[in-house]
Structure 1
């Protein structure tokens, strides 16, 4: 049976999968924890569930959203924070066309405050952990694009 090796820009998919697993799953623990609470913790042994998790739960609830996934990720996971931001941006676009009225969670100030206090406030620390474990990998590059996008959007909203 022939084995098809998929590649994206010369980077085999199996290497990307290995990179993701080593960084965010383990063994034995993630090399770069993808949860905001981990980086905001004042503890010597930070954990992935803390104040930022509760803050994100409240933000999601206020926006009428909830996390329902099979892998039970904490609400302050970088992917969930970016998905929440994308929903706010979608709502802002609808509001601009008159489809949505009186939604305070997607007002310029609220979106800018969220960006500054959540993903932009810790993506640099996450990226440093990724670079330490897997320098020049794809996830480092993806986080670089995310960080630049967050910085630009935040500046545009000021």
Structure 2
């Protein structure tokens, strides 16, 4: 793999991992560990719009106190009485206000093929947006690892899983989900996170071969 491609491949892994973290409950550690600086550095190697979005995200996090972010996180993704932007793929894919639908079962099948397990301590459903982004990170990591090693069979297998996952799951519902977040968020942080996530996943979709 050429050096430039390797640099971009690693940047895609990093950005995906940071986006996943930001979809969990906001934490002061985001600033302490300079997550947004690292995110912007990764985005810079991929796309100017991604970099600008990552920098705005960091600025928005710094502009709000943690309590305001926690309140917005709760009303957007948890409720009560129900979340304003449900972070579960099954709800957006089925059009029904219910989780653990057929799409979730299919998703768990892909997780099993990849050897991916959802940490039970997280207390999240398998199709939570953060979990799906973590799975996308794993798939991207495995694709890049196989390409560095020149393992053609492994490359084909990971590419297929990556394709199936994006077309049938995260890539199929990220747009309406992020639109709902942008429409309902009270803080700039979650509006910027939604825009950045949508842009990144769309770029990943554009990398897929035409069906």
**What pairs with 1:56-95 in structure 2 (closer than 5 Å)?**
56-95=107-146
CA distance in 2, matches of 1:14, 1:100: 48
CA distance in 1, matches of 2:68, 2:89: 26
Q: What's 1:123 paired with?
A: 174
Instruction: Point out which structure has higher relative CO (alpha carbons under 8 A, 6+ apart).
Output: 2
Moved over 4 A (4+): none
- Summarize deviations over 1:85-108 as a string: whole Å, max 9, x none: 10000011111221867335412x
- Summarize deviations over 1:38-66 as a string: whole Å, max 9, x none: 112244xx212211211111000011111
Give the length in aligned residue pairs. Answer: 150
Residues 1:145 and 2:196 aligned together: yes
Preserved contact between residue 19 and residue 137 of structure 1 (Cα < 8 Å): no
Question: TM-score under structure 1 normalisation?
Answer: 0.82
Gaps of 5+ in 1: 1-5
How far is 1:116 from its partner?
A: 2.4
Question: TM-score under structure 2 normalisation?
Answer: 0.63
CA distance in 2, matches of 1:30, 1:42: 15
Q: Which has the higher helix share?
A: 2
RMSD: 2.3
Identify the range of structure 1 (133-142 vs 87-96) with the bigger mean alpha-carbon deviation.
133-142
Q: What's 2:87 paired with?
A: 34
- Secondary structure, counterpart of 1:67 in structure 2: coil
